[in-house]
Amino acid sequence: MKTPDFSEWVQRFFREYLSRQRNVSPATVAAYRDTFRLLLQYWRQKRRQALATLSMESLTPDTVLSFLNHLEESRGNTIRTRNARLAALRSFVHYLTDWLGPELPVATRRILTLPFKRHVKPLIGYLTRSEIDALLAATEDTWTGRRDHLLLVLLYNTGARISELLALRVQDVLGPQAKLVELQGKGRKRRTLPLWRQTQRLLRRWIRDNRLTPSMPLLPNRYGEPLTRFGAFRQIKKLVQRASPKQPTLSRRPISPHLFRHASAMRMLEAGITPEVIALWLGHESFNTTHQYVEASLAMKQQALEKIAPPKTKAQRFRPDDKLLRFLESL
């Protein structure tokens, strides 16, 4: 029986392992797919070798490190993106190890020992309430403007990832009063979140005025298809340009939908909501992800410092007794 070559193993990895056995989300499949596309392009363009020559023996730690350095240095990828590409390749090697065992070349198995690159995480940026109000005020009283207004309100109310909101169907808005929304997050995990009354009114009006049926996208483009990430970023960029004259801080840094998520988390933290509850609200798999908001909240650190202010007493100088002095001198 013929042993599958590198190309066949990659196809099996996607068709059988990722899609059927692990049932990963389409976003994960797309991220892994992009990793292998970039690897093949690197092999052909930078190594100047035909794709047919890429074999299991070619997949070594040196090849992977060279590929990762290329992504970071030539393509300008961040360390976080570099680590995500390495995670995809390590997952592939894990799959090969399970199937091939000792038949897998030792050099290929050593890819599992490659460490993720450390990097300094910057403090989280988030939108202030005045910046959010300025962006909402910049939306126009048109069909597109009302949709964008609803998008911003949902981003801030739910703290959802932009991909979670753009995937919403009308049927994901629960109850006749639109009091709840059900989101599907990473790993296909679903969570249900309550909505402010203002958000509920906006949703009911939007659904009614546009005669949206349960299976239709909640936030469509002009053609009735779900609004894309590119479309959402483009609309927010336009709103930033309109709002910046009245709120200059908006023009001093890139504004993305994710800043609304950060703003939502920071407001909850400052209101005294525990990080554990915030993690459930945001759909974080790891509490460590939520902890970064605690680190970013300088205002809360100042409040904490004030609560543990030293008492108004003079510090007493420590004077060791003779017994302690003799002990120290004997050392």
Residue 151, CA distances (Å) to 162, 196, 219, 243 in order: 9, 14, 7, 16
Residue among 70, 85, 149, 284 flagged as catalytic: 284
Residue among 12, 169, 179, 186 flagged as catalytic: 186
Q: DSSP assignment of 86-128, as one string?
A: HHHHHHHHHHHHHHHGGGS-HHHHGGGGPPPPP-PPPPPP---
Note the Cα 324 to chain centre separation in Å. 56
Would residue 20 show up in a list of annotated catalytic residues for this protein? no
Residue among 44, 146, 242, 258 flagged as catalytic: 258
Would residue 319 show up in a list of annotated catalytic residues for this protein? no
- Enumerate residues 6+ apart whose C-beta is below 8 A from 28: 18
Instruction: Give the count of alpha carbons within 13 A of 16, CB side only.
Output: 10
Residue among 85, 147, 149, 261 flagged as catalytic: 261
Amino acid (1-letter code) at residue 8: E
Would residue 261 show up in a list of annotated catalytic residues for this protein? yes
**What burial letters (b/e) apply to 233-263, b meaning 16+ CB within 10 Å?**
eebbeebbebbbeebeebeeeebbbebbbbb
Note the Cα 290 to chain centre separation in Å. 12
Would residue 262 show up in a list of annotated catalytic residues for this protein? no
Which residues are part of the catalytic machinery?
161, 186, 258, 261, 284, 293
